[in-house]
A and B are shown apart, each in its own frame.
Chain A
Amino acid sequence: MSYNKKDKVNLEDLLKFKKAETPSADDWKRFDDQLKSKIMLSIVRKEPFYKRVLSSIPSFGKALPAGAAALLCVGLLLSPVIISYSPQGDMAQGAATSYASDGVILPNVDSSFATNEFSAFNDAESPVSARLNSDRGSLVSYVSGAPASHLATF
């Protein structure tokens, strides 16, 4: 087939067809709806919930640093009191009672925790002796519960 120069098609002409590949009006409607939803989602996700709540209270943002400073001061003032605090007898007794009520068997003591007085147990450890480094020839032994002079013999 012979072509007239007038009928010749060049590359630029062909590429113009690419502009004709367009979505339909329905596609654009769907596109707009989806995009709106996505933008809304991106806005919601951008700020965490608590930040949005705090920012909705205008005076809160300004009061926040002052409030934090005040809390810090109160904390510093109270810290010696908190450090020096120790549980009193009544509380300890209360705790013991609550444990007992839970069915925990406590050791039998002769006096109360409140006075910190305990009687010694009668069944003191019986002395047990053991020979150490016996292969060296010298006698080295340990005696538990024995007087200090008898703890070890070299």
Chain B
Amino acid sequence: MDLVKTEAAISVAPHIEAADGDIAIVERVKAGDMAAFDTLIKKYRERLFSVVYNMVSNREDAMDLVQDAFIKAFGSINSFKGNSGFYTWIYRIAVNMSISFIRKNRMRRFFSFENVNEELAPSEIVDKLVINYGGRKATLLNELREKLNEALQTLSIKHRTVVVLHEIEGLSHDEIAKITDTSAATVRTRLHYAKQQLQAMLKDYLG
């Protein structure tokens, strides 16, 4: 396996570089170029899915919510003034929709998880876990997936949002503050608390 490539694939925070050119694409969409919107979909669908999926813990719901977020963004593209990055804007739409969805469906939630793509799993960490715990790699990854999702579900929506955006998506505190409409200090506080919770839940895996 190409370790460098794999690490690069899961590395986070190429957001600023990736956001270059978004404004020009948005202007094309505003002018009626629907193909330009396809470019934005292709560019952000995986990242949005990752955020939404880790918030709602249901792959089908996450797919629907990401689609709805894109439709909402498309429908209100003229209201996007470019004061913030397009990715901040679309992340905010997706996060708000996810929060609304979780609140609406609090009483009837079903979890359905994606399989771990072994090629994308950080091989160095997998190796460490195999050394520490033994057993088959696939079994270990499945068990870890369950534990991780279980731990994330114990967090409140606000804390989960911050963890997902920072630890999984790699957004900065300032970016998260913009998306969640809070201050960077609040983001840091929530993150600190959430990580404490997660560490307690996942202590069996932490060396």
CB-defined contacts of B207 to chain A, threshold 8 Å: 3, 7-10
B18 at the interface (CB under 8 A from A): no
Which among B121, B132, B145 is the interface contact of A1 at CB below 8 angstroms?
B132
Most chain B CB within 10 A, of A7, A10, A35, A38, is at A35
- Knowing A10-B206, A21-B116, A31-B45 touch, does A15 contact B67 (C-beta < 8 A)? no
Chain B: minimal CB distance from A43 (Å): 9
A8 and B131 CA atoms in complex are apart in Å by 10
A-B pairs with beta carbons under 8 A, tally: 111
Q: Is the CB of A35 within 8 A of B120?
A: no
CB-defined contacts of A15 to chain B, threshold 8 Å: 148, 163, 167-168, 198
CB-defined contacts of A78 to chain B, threshold 8 Å: none
CB-defined contacts of B41 to chain A, threshold 8 Å: 32, 35
Interface residue total, chain A, C-beta cutoff 8 A = 29
Q: Is the CB of A31 within 8 A of B63?
A: yes
A5 and B2 CA atoms in complex are apart in Å by 25
Which among B10, B66, B128, B131 is the interface contact of A20 at CB below 8 angstroms?
B10
- Knowing A1-B132, A3-B132, A9-B129 touch, does A19 contact B10 (C-beta < 8 A)? yes
Q: Mark B150-172, 1 if CB is under 8 A from A, else 0.
A: 00000000000001100110000
Q: Is the CB of B114 within 8 A of A21?
A: yes
Interface residues of A in 1-57 (CB under 8 A from B): 1, 3, 7-23, 27-28, 31-32, 34-35, 38-39, 42, 46
- Knowing A3-B207, A13-B122, A14-B205 touch, does A19 contact B50 (C-beta < 8 A)? yes
Q: Which of B19-27, B69-77, B91-99 contacts A (4 or more CB under 8 A)?
A: B69-77
Q: Is the CB of B10 within 8 A of A14?
A: no
CB-defined contacts of B59 to chain A, threshold 8 Å: 23
CB-defined contacts of A20 to chain B, threshold 8 Å: 10, 116-118, 120-122
B195 at the interface (CB under 8 A from A): yes
Q: Is the CB of B202 within 8 A of A16?
A: no
Q: Which residue of A lies closest to B164 (CB)?
A: A18
CB-defined contacts of B74 to chain A, threshold 8 Å: 39, 42
B46 at the interface (CB under 8 A from A): yes
Q: Mark A73-92, 1 if CB is under 8 A from B, else 0.
A: 00000000000000000000
Q: Mark B192-207, 1 if CB is under 8 A from A, else 0.
A: 0001001100100111
Q: Which of B's residues lie within 8 Å of A, judged by CB? A: 10, 12, 34, 37, 41, 45-46, 49-50, 53-54, 59, 63, 66-68, 70-71, 74-75, 113-118, 120-122, 125, 128-129, 131-132, 141, 144-145, 148, 163-164, 167-168, 195, 198-199, 202, 205-207
Q: Which of A's residues lie within 8 Å of B, judged by CB? A: 1, 3, 7-23, 27-28, 31-32, 34-35, 38-39, 42, 46
Q: What are the nearest 3 A-B pairs in CB distance?
A: A8-B207, A20-B120, A21-B114
Given contacts A9-B129, A23-B114, 14 further A-B contacts (CB under 8 A): A3-B132, A7-B128, A13-B122, A14-B148, A17-B145, A18-B50, A18-B168, A19-B12, A23-B59, A31-B66, A31-B67, A34-B63, A35-B41, A35-B71
